[in-house]
Amino acid sequence: MLFFSIFFRTLGFLSALLIFLIIVNILLLFSNGLEKKHFEVSEGIPSSKNIIANINLNGPIFNNNANVLGNNLYDYINPAQVKSYLEELKDLKINILIITINSPGGTVSATAELEQIIYEFKKSTNTKIYFFTNEILASGGYWVATTADKIFASYGSIIGSIGVSGPSWFYYNTPISLSSGIFGQSIETKNGIEVFNQNAGEGKDLFNPYRRPKTDEIKHLQNIINDVYNDFVTKVSKSRKIEISNIKNDIGALIYSTNQAKNNFLIDDILNYETLIKLIIKENKFEDYKIYENKFSNSIFANLMVKYKYQSNDKNSFQNICRNLKTNISVVIPVYLRNC
């Protein structure tokens, strides 16, 4: 009896403590959400008027407005979230903006939106913008970086992939059965099955996997990709002062090491984040400075809620991001799509 008495008292105490911690985390979580402040001083003298801001961005560029209290659920770059960052930085009256980005690219629509958001901020505030990567700055990530005054990368980073991908059209020639099992979906083809689709308008059933693409349809889709590609190349040419012919014929859509990227004028220099800060201080002759950096919730409860939301809501899942990247015109590094 004494054992059970001690056991239940201990259990009751631990349960009460757990409930208390959850309540405290909820209060902190909601108070942070009400303040709507994303940035805090991470380095330097708090009273300094020489202000550097650093926005950390990571993941594919993807439009998804389903956030939890203003934070992205998992690692992806949401243009709407970045816009809220920049609106806050306007009030802080920063001098320099560093965008630390690691991204394989994203959908064309989200990438173009993010580029425009950063461009409008730069235009309205006359702020110098530096892009920095310590892992990967490719495809749509590099597209967005064309807004920068300078682009830097740490040694070992991957740069480039100046190209555009359209959705693949898979055609299953004469399918006879479809089945799903523990090993996934399988399709057997031999003599064919009849498929009936109700569509109005020529080409309305694009990407129907049970009919062969027409030549003019393939040509039409390729023209769309070419238009976006030409825009991409023009942006890189204007930003980096590289001839369009060099981008198309020499640089292409390959990925490059940092040394190769520098030799091809895709980046300005190879250095780490700390050296970049020193360079900015020296170039701008700052006697003192402070750095604002975007913060993320450290609340255990908040992280658990985010994890649960991520796992339980398909709209916010990584699979949904991959599906959108594959079914839309994308500027994303090919290996990322294959891993999807």
> Where is pLDDT greater, at 66 or 323?
323
The two three-digit tokens of residue 46, written as one number: 């708090």
Looking at 49-89, which runs of residues are DSSP E strands? 51-58
11-25, 234-248, 273-287: range with lowest mean pLDDT:
11-25
Percent of the chain with pLDDT over 90: 53
- CA dist 300 and 289 (Å) reads 32
296-324 pLDDT, tens digit per residue, is 544 444 444 444 444 444 444 566 677 77
The alpha carbon of 86 is separated from its chain's Cα centroid by a whole number of angstroms, namely: 16
The chain-wide mean pLDDT, for the chain, equals: 81
The two three-digit tokens of residue 314, written as one number: 């398909």
Q: What is the predicted pLDDT for the residue at 151?
A: 98
317-328 pLDDT, tens digit per residue, is 566 677 777 777
Largest CA distance in the chain: 86
> Where is pLDDT greater, at 187 or 276?
276
196-243 pLDDT, tens digit per residue, is 667 788 877 787 877 888 899 899 989 999 999 999 999 999 999 999
The two three-digit tokens of residue 36, written as one number: 């709507």
Residue 123 phi/psi, 5° resolution? -65, -40
Residue 276 has pLDDT above 70, yes or no: yes
- Locate all alpha helices (DSSP H) within the chain, ordered by sequence: 2-35, 79-92, 108-125, 140-145, 215-240, 244-246, 258-263, 273-283, 300-312, 318-327, 334-339
Neighbours of 260 (CB within 10 A): 15
How is 201-236 classified by DSSP, letter by letter?
A: STTTTTT-TTSPPPHHHHHHHHHHHHHHHHHHHHHH
Q: Which pLDDT band holds residue 263 (cuts at 50, 70, 90)?
A: very high
Neighbours of 278 (CB within 10 A): 12
Residue-range domain boundaries for the chain: 37-165+242-339
- CA dist 307 and 10 (Å) reads 29
- CA dist 193 and 19 (Å) reads 59
CB 137 within 8 A of CB 151: yes
User: What sign does the CA torsion over 269, 273, 278, 284 have?
Assistant: positive
Q: What is the predicted pLDDT for the residue at 90?
A: 93
Sheet of 128-133, strands arranged across:
39-44, 290-294, 51-58, 96-102, 128-133, 150-153, 269-270
The two three-digit tokens of residue 298, written as one number: 């450290």
Residue 340 has pLDDT above 70, yes or no: no
CA trace torsion 315, 319, 321, 322 (10° rounding): -150
> Where is pLDDT greater, at 176 or 73?
176
Mean pLDDT of 33-40: 66
Residue 137 phi/psi, 5° resolution? -135, 90
Q: What is the predicted pLDDT for the residue at 136?
A: 95
Neighbours of 92 (CB within 10 A): 10
CB 104 within 8 A of CB 336: yes
The two three-digit tokens of residue 87, written as one number: 């609106």
> Where is pLDDT greater, at 295 or 10?
295
Can you name the CATH fold of 37-165+242-339? Answer: 2-enoyl-CoA Hydratase; Chain A, domain 1 (3.90.226)
- CA dist 260 and 238 (Å) reads 20
Residue 166 has pLDDT above 50, yes or no: yes
List the one residue out of 72, 81, 82 whose CA is nearest residue 306. Answer: 72
For the entire predicted model, the pTM comes to 0.77
Name the most confidently modeled range: 69-73, 75-79, 285-289. Answer: 285-289
